[in-house]
A and B are shown apart, each in its own frame.
Chain A
Amino acid sequence: MLYLLRIGEISLKGGNRGFFEKKLVQNIKRRLKNFHPRVTGSTGRFLLEIPEESEESVIEVLSTTFGIVGFAKATPAGKSIEEISRGAFSEVERFLQEREGGTFKISARRSDKSFPCSSYEIASIIGNDIRERFKTMTVDVHNPDLLLTIEVRDRAYIYGNDTKGPGGLPVGVAGRGALLLSGGIDSPVAAYLMAKRGLAIDAVYFHTYPYTPVETLQKVKTIVETIASACGGINLYILPFTDVALKIRKDAPADQTTLLMRAGMMDTASRIAGRRNALCLVTGESLSQVASQTAQSMHFTGSTSKLPVFRPLIALDKEEIIAIAKQIGTYETSILPYDDCCTVFSPKKPLIRPDFDFMRKSYDKLDLDELLAESIGKMEKEWYPPV
């Protein structure tokens, strides 16, 4: 079976395009390794050759691998009009398996200029052949039901309507980031959007048992499992964080608890990121959504990270975030009724516009170094491979 893949943004890259393409090929091959695929290609197109029995997996993988804009099953043909015509017939027959008839348009491209017919001539000849052979197919060049593309390169390739891919860039081209994952709606969406820009994801979950239930941890694991494929696999780091949270609760003013917890998490995540050669932190923060997500709050909480903090949801409202969460399949898990933060760590009136210097002093005074190191020492790691 042959598939033709379109790669959109990657083809716009200049000198380092090869790096992007190589990563995409690696990512596709890794996810389809059980079928021993062969991926070749250049100039904005890739060809995937793979055994027929893999169809279901191929569609799943190609529609969820970042870097692919669209894909279609293709028919290869020899470089003669007769062979191209036969290939076109089989594509039309594939189209007619699901419907009785319809409109079509031929789009022909000829990168091999030694081929005797021009693109226009190819389109005219094959178009006529199809009209004669399939009486239920008529031409509509503006809004066809079937866009039949013919590309003449080393061989001729004929393919019908393509299926949309997720777009974006291949995971890994932008390095690695450490995601602060809570089990709520936002952070999985943030992970997905950053992976779409090519970032490989390490997820960090701060577990405050017994103040949060094991069900919340289970929820986090399910979420990671859900987005692992799109993210090219995820390492989940589970940190026991109860001692840190309790120390903050005990030694800091109640209204600062949320911000200091958040700052402690950023601090810890950036330490883990350092060990993993990660280049940034990722959070699901959205401006003004809650007290810890005002500009002032994020200025402070982000300041404990030695790495830049990427917040891909910063300008999205809740409805927009929920729409993406539903699309990527994490929403139903995220809304399971298990708290991701116990009431004992959630002050009734948290600071909303904290003073930066005041909060920094408060954080430094807590002297969490030792506790954070202990937490990292006890962390567990689980690998969720792409499937």
Chain B
Amino acid sequence: MYTLHPMTYLDWAATAPPMESVLTESSAKALELYANPSSIHAAGKAARRCIEQSRDMCGKYLGVAPNLVHFTASGTESNNIVFSSLLFKKTRGSVVISGIEHPSIYEPAKMLECAGFTVTYVKAESNGIVDPARIAACVGQDTVMVALMLVNNETGAIQPVGEVSHLIREKESCLSRRIHIHTDAVQAFGKMRISCDELGIDSLSASAHKIGALRGAGVLYLSQPFDVVFRGGGQEDGIRPGTENLQAIFALTSALEIWEEKREEWNAKAVELRQNILNRLISAGARLFDPSYLEKTDRYSPYIIMASFPPIPGEVLVRVMSDNGFSISTGSACSARGKKNLRVVQNMHADRAFSESAVRISFGPSTSESECDAFCSALEREVTALINQLGGR
């Protein structure tokens, strides 16, 4: 048992609060369709139908045939399945990823390095966006895979995945073989219209708990099946064996349906909130990593804001704001516990002062203007007090 203090939650990019209707409906489904979806009796078939309906829904959203959509346990698992599949290749090759990827891409890439692959890490430009030409330039004779996330989880920068694919496909004609292009779409899923065909990708990963569904479900789109490390009962076409988590899968697609219906409205509101918050943060002394962050709204997710208040260490500001009842974070929640992880910001040419003081504010559809207002006021007050304490040095 634990007690949550009354708080304003501004850490949606880590985990979005679950939608009440999604929780209720998925709990009812769990009670109703508890049979194993692989069983051939009527109860098992009913559970199977529910999962296949969810698959249809995901396929429709991603613009792909449902049989290319696989349910996994998380975005991290989806990413790992893709990277570990390369271990089955008879010859080692090279992999190109951006330097701003989530740890669930970065660490599997490190694992491939240990296994004999060459991995090239491409930095983002100072605006947080990777230059497609830089990635294409790193693709060589032995490149087997390229990975670029769709929306960065720390800055919200939308990455030019489609352009990267286009350039790589052009190169492929000289190489006369296909290079696997993967995108981690965890922060984009539901919040952007996604067409895997238009993006020109071979695989995509997503996660349920970032869009108001339950933890324990992820999505993996695969244009073609491949070998996987984990073996078992053959579920999900053998890509992710293990009994399907029906409740979490149902919740995922329920939440996705709501996002599909409300996306335009919610995004428009978020763009406005983002601008308001950014303006308030700037007047409170925030440093942004690039001027375009404020101006070019179409290049950044409206739900994630990164700002920095040197010399206040990011984690100190997070603690102080938490004491004030506001949940924000430093960088990625998956790496914020413990030692500082400044890799992402430093891979977009940010200086050390900016990196050490960067915080992430992320919100969602139920975040209100008044909450943001209260947050900005508290932040202004605390930043002033902390800067005063630290003497601006």
Contact = CB atoms under 8 A, between A and B. Distances in A.
A249 B392 CA distance: 10
Nearest to A254: B393
Contacts of B315: 213
Nearest to A213: B319
Nearest to B382: A210
Interface in B283-321: 311, 313, 315-316, 319-320
Contacts of A366: none
B323 A344 contact: no
B338 A344 contact: no
A356 B309 CA distance: 36
Contacts of B320: 210
Contacts of B389: 246, 250
B6 interface: no
Interface string B58-74: 00000000000000000
B391 interface: yes
Interface size class on chain B is 10 to 19
Contact of A344 (B311, B319, B337, B339): B311
Contact of B313 (A254, A337, A338, A344): A344
Nearest to A246: B389
Interface string A212-223: 010000000000
B393 A211 contact: no
A173 to B, nearest CB: 41
B301 to A, nearest CB: 29
A344 B339 CA distance: 15
A166 B339 CA distance: 35
A129 B315 CA distance: 73
Interface in A295-348: 336-338, 342-344
Given A211-B316, A213-B319, A250 B338 contact: no
A337 B339 contact: yes
A132 to B, nearest CB: 63
Nearest to A245: B389
B40 interface: no
Contact of A343 (B319, B338, B356, B391): B356
B390 interface: yes
Contacts of B319: 209-210, 213
Nearest to B391: A250
A137 to B, nearest CB: 54
Interface in B338-373: 338-339, 356
A342 B340 CA distance: 11
A343 B390 contact: no
Contacts of A250: 389-391, 393
B356 A210 contact: no
Nearest to B337: A337
A373 B356 CA distance: 33
A211 B313 contact: yes
Contacts of B313: 211, 342-344
B316 A338 contact: no
Contacts of A210: 316, 319-320, 323
Contacts of A338: 338
B390 A337 contact: no
Nearest to B386: A210
Contacts of B339: 337
Contacts of A211: 313, 316
A13 B88 CA distance: 71
Given A213-B315, A344-B311, A337 B393 contact: no
Contacts of B356: 343
B95 to A, nearest CB: 28
B166 to A, nearest CB: 42
Among B315, B323, B393, find the residue whose CB has the most chain A CB atoms closer than 10 A: B315
Contacts of B338: 336-338
Nearest to A243: B389
A338 B391 CA distance: 25
Contacts of A213: 315, 319
B390 A246 contact: yes
B316 A249 contact: no
Nearest to A338: B338
Contacts of A344: 311, 313, 316, 390
B342 to A, nearest CB: 11
A249 B390 contact: yes
A337 B393 CA distance: 26
Contacts of B337: 337
Interface in B370-393: 389-391, 393
A242 B315 CA distance: 16
A340 to B, nearest CB: 13
A210 B389 CA distance: 12
Which 10 A-B pairs have CB atoms at the shortest separation, nearest pair first? A337-B338, A210-B319, A250-B391, A337-B339, A246-B389, A210-B320, A210-B316, A211-B316, A343-B313, A344-B390
20 contacts: A209-B319, A210-B323, A211-B316, A246-B389, A246-B390, A249-B390, A249-B391, A250-B390, A250-B391, A336-B338, A337-B337, A337-B338, A337-B339, A338-B338, A342-B313, A342-B316, A343-B313, A344-B311, A344-B313, A344-B390
Interface of A: 209-211, 213, 246, 249-250, 254, 336-338, 342-344
Given A246-B390, A344-B311, 19 more contacts: A209-B319, A210-B316, A210-B319, A210-B323, A211-B313, A213-B315, A213-B319, A250-B389, A250-B391, A250-B393, A336-B338, A337-B337, A337-B339, A342-B313, A342-B316, A343-B313, A344-B313, A344-B316, A344-B390
